[in-house]
Amino acid sequence: MLSIDALSKTYADGVVALDELSLRVGDGEIVALVGGSGCGKTTLLRLIAGLDRASAGQIRLDDQTINGPSANVGVIFQEPRLFPWLTIEDNVAFGLNQLSAFEREGLVANALTRVGLSGHGGRWPRELSGGQQQRAAIARALITRPRLLIMDEPFSALDPTTRASLHRHLLSLWDESRPTMLLVTHDVEEAVTLADRIIVMQPNPGRVFETFPNLLARPRVRLGSGFETLSRQILTSLDQSLKPGMPKAAPAGTADAAWW
Amino acid sequence: MSLLASETDNAAVPRLAAGKPGLSIGWIAGFALPVMVAALWEGAVSAGLANGRLLPPPSRIGATLWELARSGELATHAAATLWRVAAGFALGAVVGTVLGALSGASELLRRLMDPTLQALRAIPSIAWVPLFILWLGIFEASKVALIAVGVFFPVYLGVAAALAGIDRKIIEVGRVFRLGRVAMIRRVTLPAILPAWVTALRTGLGLGFMFVVAAEFMGASEGLGYLLVDGQQLGRPDRILAAIIAFAVLGKLADGLLVFVTRPLLSWQDVSRNRM
Ligand SMILES: Nc1ncnc2c1ncn2[C@@H]1O[C@H](COP(=O)(O)OP(=O)(O)OP(=O)(O)O)[C@@H](O)[C@H]1O
Ligand SMILES: [Mg+2]
């Protein structure tokens, strides 16, 4: 279980990016974070990844305090961030250094198949499309079987079709070891498709605004009425999170305002 | 040197000559102008329109080159020059790489070293010659030192800039995988700066060939630079031009060798980026 307690982050320039944020994510749960620009989503993920230090508060993963990068935490960034000097295979195997070449090969071949890249292992990153590169990045993050996978807008640079296929690949890989996943997205449909729980954050300072459990059965169809209703609720909440002074009742239909 | 410089410019033009047909046409096109000018000059001299005393026709330069090669003179001079360039290049490249790495890796060291080195760089390197001669004598040591100075600066600057400009995002990936200091350098930093390092070495090598001429002007009994001075004193422009051609060929070959030995390390880059 990932437990975040009263986590605060104030940057050197005085910006309060996170203010006493608390959050629990259960084992194997998929949680999506949505929220307007600048509400501290990236800040939160970087703290969990151990790439930055919190000003106050605590992050624990199964009762181990996180204060630096951990083998139990995998990260997928917005960009693939593959090493251009390594082949796709070697990129995917980057975190498997301690294993024998034989073990590595087997794991890499399986991971590449899972993300639909078998046959591409020997190619250079520059020879792959953006979507293929991001799939390799997903494989690289999941091959070490982290207990927690955090993703900061991992599909935002991709077109809708590619995005949908990456959702399937991600869920397929996730199914192997069922890590806890924390995903930041600007795409409410993506959040509803993937997550068991959607958390709306508010800016200035960054806090949890509202939480939506997602009980829809998988695989989730965009056209189902439950999908539609939940998406609308989240969009409404997003709107309100950006103008906290406003009353909470927004008529349905006006929800898809430009909150981002 | 000009040959080396134009080579670097070529590298910036993507894929012009990458395809097979484009390659052969580009190849021929590049030769068309010099060959035409040479043929015209050859014709003009043999038709008696010009006497070719100050600018000998290609045939005479070729004959001189052949004569120099046959007598073994050319090999002696070329070997002397190559030895100096190699020694100066090795020295300058090693020191430049080490200091560049220190300056790029540590902000404190950069603040300590960089201003001094930048100030030294502002001095035209040839101005060191008298001092080097006083310190190191007129023989090989002062020549190698001068060449090393020429090689040092582009290598130092290239390595320091590459380290400073390394993509923070890719370093973060290394951090996520919890690489230690040594592993980070070996698995991320070094491969990331390799292309810039090779480019810096090539620039340094080009300057090394420029500086060996200056070094050999300041009193040498052998070397292609000596051949230049000798040709001037004997009033033999054909020998001067023969030496210049030898310089161009050696410079190009040395650069080609550098590209060749580093190519396996850079195979992940676009092919056209690293063309010879
Ligand atoms: N390195 C930094 N130094 C100073 N301030 C920062 C830094 N990174 C982020 N901030 C500030 O912290 C706040 C939260 O930023 P953060 O990047 O976490 O937002 P976000 O929710 O990820 O936004 P977006 O949706 O646009 O990606 C912003 O006000 C931002 O300006
Ligand atoms: Mg962000």
Q: What does the mean pLDDT of chain A come to?
A: 88
Question: A140 alpha carbon to ligand 1 midpoint, in Å?
Answer: 26
Cα separation, B270 vs B14, whole angstroms = 9
Phi, psi of B44 (to 5 degrees): -60, -40
pLDDT above 60 (res B16): no
pLDDT recorded at residue B24: 64
Name the pLDDT band for B23 (thresholds 50, 70, 90): low
B190 touches chain A (CB under 8 A): no
Q: Are A162 and A251 found together in one domain?
A: yes
pLDDT recorded at residue A177: 86
Determine whether the interchain pair A69/B170 forms a contact, defined as Cβ–Cβ distance below 8 Å.
no
Cα separation, B238 vs B54, whole angstroms = 8
Point out the ligand 1 atom lying closest to the alpha carbon of residue A9.
12
- List, as one string, the DSSP characters of B61-113: HHHHHHHHHHTTHHHHHHHHHHHHHHHHHHHHHHHHHHHHHHHHH-HHHHHHH
pLDDT in tens, A49-68: 999 999 999 999 998 999 89
pLDDT above 50 (res B246): yes
By three-state DSSP, how is residue A75 classified?
A: strand
Q: Are A243 and A158 found together in one domain?
A: yes
Instruction: Out of A98, A121, A145, pick the residue that ends a domain.
Output: A145
Q: Are A117 and A225 found together in one domain?
A: no
CATH of the domain at A152: 3.40.50.300
Helix axes B107-122, B73-105, angle to 10 degrees: 140
CB within 8 A of B230, min separation 6: which ones? B236, B239
| B126 DSSP assignment | G
CB within 8 A of B35, min separation 6: which ones? none
B181 touches chain A (CB under 8 A): no
**Nearest-ligand number for the alpha carbon of A152:** 2
Residues from chain B contacting residue A74 (CB–CB below 8 Å) = 176
Q: What percentage of chain B exceeds 70 in pLDDT?
A: 88
Q: Are A49 and A152 found together in one domain?
A: yes
Instruction: Measure CB to CB from residue B169 to each of A70, A79, A94 and give the nearest one.
Output: A79
Amino acid at A93: A
Q: Are A15 and A132 found together in one domain?
A: no
Distance from B27 to chain A by nearest Cα, in Å? Answer: 28
Name the pLDDT band for B38 (thresholds 50, 70, 90): confident
pLDDT recorded at residue A134: 92
B173 touches chain A (CB under 8 A): yes
Query: For residue A84, which of B256, B262, B269 has the smallest C-alpha distance?
Result: B269
Q: Are A33 and A103 found together in one domain?
A: no
Cα separation, B47 vs B26, whole angstroms = 32
In this structure, the residue with its CA closest to atom 19 of ligand 1 is A38
Question: B154 alpha carbon to ligand 2 midpoint, in Å?
Answer: 39
The residue segments making up the domain with residue A141 are 80-145
Task: Report the Cα–Cα distance between both ends of chain B, in Å, rounded.
Answer: 15
pLDDT in tens, A202-257: 988 889 999 999 988 888 878 788 899 999 999 999 999 888 554 444 444 444 44
Instruction: Measure CB to CB from residue A83 to each of B170, B269, B270 and give the nearest one.
Output: B170
Determine whether the interchain pair A95/B170 forms a contact, defined as Cβ–Cβ distance below 8 Å.
no
Are B67 and B56 contacting, i.e. CB atoms less than 8 angstroms apart? no
Tell me the CA distances in angstroms from B61 to B20, B38, B45, B131, B229, one per residue in order.
34, 11, 13, 37, 16
Instruction: Out of A145, A168, A198, pick the residue that ends a domain.
Output: A145
pLDDT recorded at residue A97: 87
Are B225 and B212 contacting, i.e. CB atoms less than 8 angstroms apart? yes
In this structure, the residue with its CA closest to atom 16 of ligand 1 is A40
* Token couple for B128: 């060191």
Question: B92 alpha carbon to ligand 1 midpoint, in Å?
Answer: 44
Residues from chain A contacting residue B170 (CB–CB below 8 Å) = 81, 83
**Sequence-ordered alpha helix ranges (H) in B168-236:** 168-176, 181-184, 190-217, 224-234
Are B196 and B159 contacting, i.e. CB atoms less than 8 angstroms apart? yes
Give the mean model confidence (pLDDT) for residues A177-199: 93
pLDDT in tens, B152-164: 999 999 999 999 9
Distance from B174 to chain A by nearest Cα, in Å? Answer: 9
Q: Are A87 and A186 found together in one domain?
A: no
Q: What's the predicted TM-score (pTM) here?
A: 0.81
Handedness of CA B259, B264, B266, B270 (dihedral sign): positive
Domain count, chain A: 2
pLDDT recorded at residue A150: 95
Task: Report the Cα–Cα distance between both ends of chain A, in Å, rounded.
Answer: 31
**Nearest-ligand number for the alpha carbon of A16:** 1
Q: What is the chain B residue with the closest CA to A76?
A: B173
Give the mean model confidence (pLDDT) for residues B108-134: 89
Q: Which residues line ligand 1 (CB under 6 A)?
A: A 11, 13, 15, 17, 35, 37-43
- Count CB neighbours of B36 within 10 A: 10
* Token couple for B165: 């400009």
Instruction: Measure CB to CB from residue B178 to each of A71, A83, A126 and give the nearest one.
Output: A71
Helix axes B190-217, B140-164, angle to 10 degrees: 150
Instruction: Measure CB to CB from residue B176 to each of A49, A79, A83 and give the nearest one.
Output: A49
Query: For residue B125, which of B158, B107, B147 has the smallest C-alpha distance?
Result: B147
Distance from A255 to chain B by nearest Cα, in Å? Answer: 36
Q: Are A98 and A60 found together in one domain?
A: no
pLDDT recorded at residue A186: 92
Q: Are A246 and A165 found together in one domain?
A: yes
pLDDT recorded at residue A189: 92
CATH topology of domain B55-265: MetI-like fold (1.10.3720)
Cα separation, B101 vs B73, whole angstroms = 41
Tell me the CA distances in angstroms from A215 to A60, A195, A198, A226, B4, one per residue in order.
26, 9, 11, 9, 67
Longest dimension (CA), chain A: 61
Question: B41 alpha carbon to ligand 2 midpoint, in Å?
Answer: 67
